[in-house]
Each structure stands twice: as C-alpha cells, then as structure tokens.
C-alpha cells in the first residue's frame, strides 16, 4: 500500500466513525491508552485515565444506537460466563472487607472491561472496523516508540521524567533506564507490547507489511527496555506466529512447547529470585529461595493465604491481597491468584469458563495472530495481574470477532 493507501485507510476510519459515533468514541479510547497524564478520574481510581472516560461515552452511544436499530445482542456462552464474572465482582464489592469505595470503583472497572470486550467484538466483526482498529493500534505503537526514544534520551541527559518507570526488583542505575513511556508502569507497557504486536501481525490488514513489521520490531525493542517478565510472553507469541505463519510442519507441537516453556520460565522466576543489574550482566544471579528472602514468593504465599480465608467472594475488587517481606500490601503478581483472592473462586471459575468458551467457538482455521497474543498475555499474567488491563480485553474482543468476521 502506498502513502495514498495509508491516507485512504485514515479516511475509511473517519467514515466509519462518522457512521457510528460510538465507534469514533471507542477509537478515541484506544488512541488514549498511552496517556497517563491529567486523568479526569484520578479521584475515583489511581489508575483511571482518559481511556475510561471515552469507553464510558462509547458504551452510552452504542446502547443508544442499538435501541434506535431495535437490535438485541444475542448472548452466547462467553457472554453468560462474563456476566457471572462481573456479578461475582459486584457481590464481592458489596461485602468488601477493605475500602468500600475502592471496591465499588473496581467493580465498575470490571463492568467497563466487559463492555470493552463487547464493543470490540461488535466493531471488529466488519472489515472496516477491523482496519480502523489496526490503524489506531499502529498509531499508538508509533507514539509509544517515540515516547520511549524521548524517555531514553532525557534519561541520559539526566532529566527526570515519568517516561522512566520504577526499577522494581532491579538495581537502580545511571547506566540504564527502565522505560514506562506513557503507561503507569514498565510491566504494563511490556504487556501492551504483546497486545500491539499481535494486532499488527494480522494477515487481513491492507497496511504496508514493511511498516507493520517495522512497528513490531520497534515494540520488541521497547519491551526489552521495560526489563519486565512480559518479554517472555512476547517471545512465545512471536514464536507461535512464526511457526504458523511460515507453515512449519510441526507448528502445533511448537505452539504447545512454546506455551509450556513460557509457563516454566515464569514459574522459575517466581520460585527463584533473579537478582539482575543490566548494567553489569556478570553480576546476575539466580537462586531458589524461601518466602522470607524471595519477594515474589512472599507476595504469592500471602495472597494464597488471603484466598484461603476468603474463598467465595474474596476481599473486594482491586484490593491488595498480598504482603511484601516488609509487610506492605501488594497485588499477587499472578492473575489467577489475584482474581481468586480479591473476587473469589466463583469469579475465577467464570473467567476460566469465559476463556474456554472463546477458544471452543473460535474460527477454523485458528487465527493465530489473535490467539498468539492471548497466549502471550496469559503467560505474562502468571507474573503480573493482567485482568484489569484494558488492552487485554480488546484482544479478547478481537479473538471473539474473528469467529464471525466479515471481509465486506
């Protein structure tokens, strides 16, 4: 596609947004994913941002469009499982043992994320909608890469900016920066790179393949600069796409082996402590440890204990079920454990049922662009809590849309 073709893609996206105002608001929500500054909802939730505002507006506009058309959404197995998940979250918020206001805010976030899945599935089922989503993700990826370059440049100029995130378990240094760009943390940025790379790997986009490939390379480099566990999920997703995209004879075996390998690496990074200083590779050490000495294992152990005390409805959406070795509240850093400890085992079962239903209803042959991304995000979810990441639910919606996508 030429430059004129890219301009045509923008023009098509604009026409689609004009035809459905809710879709325009939805695209605005995606565009604002890497914008953590000046949040109008900061008083409601620390991590609420502009994307949440436009998702809410899109839901209202979409609902009005459905009423005007007299359309009724047809509920399928994934939807019923998703309803059960959200209901469990709402019930958990109502009996939350912690901050009731935070619990309610996070229950509303669960509703928002479910609707983000529904909206994405609806819009991406048509060719023009899919093309617009891929185009917007490409723009967001380009902005994120530019933010990363700016953050690195300012870091080495000794200018402090929020483009550089917290070092976490890594040793702080003047020699390297752990990039967060326009996201709230480096691990969140790494997770976004998994998502965006999968979206830009779709084989049904008319955008220039060379441009999409360049963007994916840029996202891989950004992910490396996050120094996060998301690198594992990104590598697994890329390997799966390569196996299927290049027609390897044992592509399925490679997929299973890559997924299992990713899980084992994430398990090793949890049960053992990796002490790393990227500025001094010779100082990297790894050792199996006890919760008293392993920060990740301590948080996981205490989160599991919280789940054991509150197995049915948890301690409330968004609560911090774990404790660090210094006694500070913490997320579980493991999506399954975090969901079970905060909103309960029924919610976790509903979430698993939702994912299984999506897989069972997928299009054949399998769209490995979407599903490689979901596998990568799932592996990343073993090292951080991805259930509240907006882009994860967009990825789920894209996978659902592929079940009934139209090329018209």
96/344: higher pLDDT? 344
220-251 pLDDT, tens digit per residue, is 999 999 999 999 999 999 999 999 988 788 99
Rounded CA separation 403/396 (Å): 11
The pLDDT, as a whole number, for residue 37 is: 86
Rounded CA separation 55/333 (Å): 26
Mean pLDDT, the chain, as a whole number? 90
The pLDDT, as a whole number, for residue 172 is: 83
Mean pLDDT of 260-266: 97
Mean pLDDT of 72-84: 92
Mean pLDDT of 117-142: 95
The pLDDT, as a whole number, for residue 407 is: 54
pLDDT of 408 strictly over 70: no
> Can you say how many angstroms the Cα of residue 321 is from the centroid of all Cα atoms in its chain?
21
Mean pLDDT of 163-184: 89
23-74 pLDDT, tens digit per residue, is 999 999 999 999 988 777 765 666 678 999 999 999 999 999 999 988 887 8
Mean pLDDT of 134-151: 97
The pLDDT, as a whole number, for residue 248 is: 82
The pLDDT, as a whole number, for residue 288 is: 79
Tokens for 80, please give them.
């019923």
pLDDT of 4 strictly over 80: no
Burial of 323 (0-12, 13-18, 19+ CB in 10 A): middle
Lowest mean pLDDT among 180-184, 195-199, 207-211, 312-316: 207-211
pLDDT of 295 strictly over 70: yes
The pLDDT, as a whole number, for residue 1 is: 45
Rounded CA separation 219/4 (Å): 25
List, in order, residues 6 or more apart from 120 with CB less than 8 Å away: 26, 133, 393, 394, 396, 397, 398, 400, 401
CA 297 to each of CA 59, 268, 302, 307, 331: distance values in angstroms, whole numbers, following the listed order: 40, 11, 9, 15, 12
pTM of full prediction above 0.75: yes
């Amino acid at each position: 596609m030429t430059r004129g073709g890219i301009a045509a893609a923008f023009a098509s996206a604009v026409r689609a947004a004009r035809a459905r105002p809710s879709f325009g608001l939805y695209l605005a929500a995606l565009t604002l994913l890497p914008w953590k500054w000046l949040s109008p909802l900061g008083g409601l939730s620390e991590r609420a941002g502009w994307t949440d505002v436009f998702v809410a507006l899109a839901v209202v506009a979409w609902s009005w469009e459905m009423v005007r058309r007299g359309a009724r959404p047809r509920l399928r197995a994934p939807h019923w499982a998703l309803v059960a998940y959200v209901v469990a979250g709402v019930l958990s918020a109502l009996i939350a043992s912690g901050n009731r206001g935070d619990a309610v805010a996070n229950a509303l976030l669960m509703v928002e994320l479910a609707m983000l899945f529904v909206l994405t599935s609806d819009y991406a089922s048509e060719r023009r909608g899919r093309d617009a989503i891929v185009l917007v993700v490409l723009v967001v990826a380009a902005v994120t890469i530019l933010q990363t370059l700016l953050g690195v440049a300012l870091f080495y100029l000794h200018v402090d900016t929020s483009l550089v995130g917290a070092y976490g378990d890594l040793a702080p240094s003047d020699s390297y920066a752990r990039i967060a760009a326009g996201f709230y943390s480096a691990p969140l940025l790494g997770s976004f790179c998994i998502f965006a790379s999968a979206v830009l790997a779709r084989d049904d986009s008319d955008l220039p393949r060379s441009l999409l490939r360049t963007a994916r390379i840029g996202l891989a480099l950004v992910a490396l600069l996050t120094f996060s566990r998301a690198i594992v999920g990104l590598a697994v997703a890329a390997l799966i796409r390569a196996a299927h995209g290049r027609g390897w004879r044992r592509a399925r075996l490679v997929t299973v082996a890559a997924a299992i390998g990713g899980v084992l690496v994430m398990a090793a990074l949890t049960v053992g402590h990796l002490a790393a200083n990227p500025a001094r590779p010779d100082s990297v050490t790894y050792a199996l440890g006890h919760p008293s000495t392993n920060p990740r294992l301590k948080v996981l152990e205490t989160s599991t204990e919280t789940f054991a005390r509150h197995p049915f409805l948890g301690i409330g959406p968004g609560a911090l079920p774990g404790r660090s070795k210094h006694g500070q509240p913490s997320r579980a850093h493991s999506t399954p454990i975090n969901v079970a400890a905060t909103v309960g085992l029924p919610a976790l079962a509903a979430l698993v049922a939702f994912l299984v239903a999506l897989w069972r209803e997928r299009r054949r042959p399998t769209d490995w662009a979407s599903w490689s991304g979901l596998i990568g995000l799932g592996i990343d979810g073993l090292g951080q809590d991805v259930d509240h990441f907006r882009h994860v639910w967009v990825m789920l919606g894209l996978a659902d849309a592929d079940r009934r996508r139209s090329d018209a």
